[in-house]
């Protein structure tokens, strides 16, 4: 099998996906706008060929380069695990006549309004929603839906340019900050706990799923610098309290006609138990949440994805052994990180449960916490018991501090 992988070297864990696919015996052809010399070693060792283009976002240029470089060679699949490239992948599939997510299906994963309309038609509970492209239409939608509302880009990813607006005064203050967004989704604000539903799917069948719990909700964490956000991959995905969310996840995959690959869905559970869809991407979660899945089950998730998309099944056996919490840290102050406090005491308490520590060392420039969830690094730890996992994660959040000057 010969598979085109879009942007194999960037971002984040894309190199691991390239490796996972190659280890399944697939000839992986990469296409990207990085130079081959800039690709990580693991990517260069995983690719059968690499096609560099001037810009990944010039579809005509990309297709022309692929037509030229692949003359005489057929592609079996086109894979993209990065949100901005989902439509590009669909357009390449259409041009070369390759099976997989087509343009209309891909649009429903990128356009939040089209996504929710499709799910409304399937009888899945979504927030009340309206797409708007003017200030006047935004005001009208907010009044009709009723405050509080959420404003978010129609084709965004994560919580960038996303705002909770409680009343008319807040709406008046937020709108100038969204002038650069061409089309907004105005949605009902759903009060409740927020979770993920992540899947590896082959031929429309979910072969593996993961549920992670955001503590607190991303919108809250993104609005308060002092918070150390947590994401906990849950061991017990059979918890009856999650059952309606799991069912909704399966229904969403079916309703959107997703065939093979990774998906990342977010959903809410209200205090009364009602579950409400949030959004879904035809790609894995970011911020190293795929690694959480790896540590939760002690298996190679990247290769499992490769097995699913290349062979239609996951060959590896896996068992859900641990809850895995990632605690993202933000330094206090500005400039360079000067010291870290609390790490030695926490290491003595919980060291055997820590599986990954990426905290920036003293001397490093502090990152802009508004632009990256990873912020100034994270501590990832695991334990079979959820309450113990939460206790450890809360201690890292409260007692571990980075300072910058």
Residue 169 has a pLDDT of 96
pLDDT tens across 171-191, in order?
A: 999 999 999 999 999 999 999
Categorize the per-residue pLDDT at 159 as very low, low, confident or very high, splitting at 50, 70 and 90: low
Residue 155, pLDDT above cutoff 90: no
Q: Cα–Cα distance between 316 and 309 in angstroms, integer?
A: 14
Does domain 128-188 correspond to CATH entry 3.30.1490.20?
A: yes
Categorize the per-residue pLDDT at 282 as very low, low, confident or very high, splitting at 50, 70 and 90: very high
Q: Cα–Cα distance between 323 and 84 in angstroms, integer?
A: 30
User: Are residues 196 and 264 in contact, defined by beta-carbon separation less than 8 angstroms?
Assistant: yes
Residue 1, pLDDT above cutoff 70: yes
Residue 402 phi/psi, 5-degree rounding, is -110, 140
Pick from 311-315, 368-372, 388-392: least confident: 368-372
Q: Cα–Cα distance between 170 and 150 in angstroms, integer?
A: 11
Residue 158, pLDDT above cutoff 80: no
User: Are residues 266 and 112 in contact, defined by beta-carbon separation less than 8 angstroms?
Assistant: no
Q: Which CATH architecture has domain 191-321?
A: 2-Layer Sandwich (3.30)
Categorize the per-residue pLDDT at 12 as very low, low, confident or very high, splitting at 50, 70 and 90: confident
Q: Which fold has domain 2-100?
A: Rossmann fold (3.40.50)
Q: With 0-12 CB in 10 A as exposed, 13-18 as middle and 19+ as buried, what is 324? A: buried
Instruction: Give the residue-averaged pLDDT of 118-127.
Output: 97
Residue 161 has a pLDDT of 84
pLDDT tens across 46-73, in order?
A: 999 999 999 999 999 999 999 999 987 8
Q: Cα–Cα distance between 81 and 284 in angstroms, integer?
A: 6
Q: Cα–Cα distance between 390 and 213 in angstroms, integer?
A: 11
The two beta strands, 378-383 and 354-357, are antiparallel
User: Are residues 130 and 146 in contact, defined by beta-carbon separation less than 8 angstroms?
Assistant: no
Q: Cα–Cα distance between 230 and 389 in angstroms, integer?
A: 11
Q: How many CB atoms lie under 10 A from the CB of residue 357?
A: 13
Q: Cα–Cα distance between 201 and 304 in angstroms, integer?
A: 10
Q: Cα–Cα distance between 282 and 302 in angstroms, integer?
A: 15
CB-based contacts of 176: which residues, under 8 Å, 6+ apart?
A: none
Residue 371 phi/psi, 5-degree rounding, is -105, -10
């Amino acid at each position: 099998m010969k598979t085109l992988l879009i942007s194999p070297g960037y971002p984040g864990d894309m190199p691991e996906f390239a490796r996972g696919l190659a280890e399944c015996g697939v000839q992986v052809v990469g296409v990207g706008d990085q130079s081959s010399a800039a690709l990580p070693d693991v990517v260069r060792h995983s690719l059968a060929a690499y096609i560099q283009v001037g810009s990944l976002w010039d579809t005509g240029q990309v297709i022309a380069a692929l037509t030229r470089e692949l003359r005489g060679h057929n592609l079996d699949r086109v894979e993209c695990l990065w949100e901005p490239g989902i439509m590009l992948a669909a357009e390449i599939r259409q041009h070369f006549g390759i099976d997989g997510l087509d343009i209309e299906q891909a649009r429903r994963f990128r356009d939040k309004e089209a996504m929710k309309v499709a799910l409304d038609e399937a009888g899945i509970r979504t927030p009340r929603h309206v797409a708007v492209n003017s200030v006047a239409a935004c005001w009208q939608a907010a009044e009709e839906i009723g405050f509080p509302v959420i404003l978010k880009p129609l084709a965004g990813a994560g919580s960038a340019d996303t705002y909770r607006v409680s009343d008319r005064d807040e709406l008046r203050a937020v709108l100038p900050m969204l002038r650069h967004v061409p089309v907004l989704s105005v949605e009902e604000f759903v009060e409740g706990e927020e979770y993920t539903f992540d899947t590896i799917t082959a031929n429309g069948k979910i072969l593996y799923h993961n549920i992670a719990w955001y503590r607190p909700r991303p919108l809250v964490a993104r609005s308060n610098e002092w918070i150390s956000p947590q994401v906990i991959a849950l061991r017990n995905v059979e918890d009856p309290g999650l059952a309606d969310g799991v069912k909704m996840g399966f229904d969403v995959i079916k309703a959107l006609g997703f065939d093979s690959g990774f998906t990342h869905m977010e959903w809410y559970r209200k205090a009364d138990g009602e579950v409400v869809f949030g959004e879904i991407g035809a790609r894995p979660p970011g911020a190293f949440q795929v690694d959480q899945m790896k540590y939760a089950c002690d298996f190679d998730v990247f290769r499992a994805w490769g097995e699913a998309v290349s062979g239609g099944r996951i060959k590896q056996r896996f068992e859900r052994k641990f809850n895995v919490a990632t605690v993202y840290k933000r330094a206090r102050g500005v400039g360079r990180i000067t010291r870290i406090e609390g790490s030695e005491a926490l290491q003595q308490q919980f060291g055997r449960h820590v599986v990954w520590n990426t905290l920036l060392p003293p001397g490093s420039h502090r990152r802009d916490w508004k632009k990256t969830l990873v912020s100034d690094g994270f501590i990832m730890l695991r334990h079979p018991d959820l309450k113990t996992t939460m206790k450890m994660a809360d201690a890292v959040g409260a007692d571990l501090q980075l300072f910058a000057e």
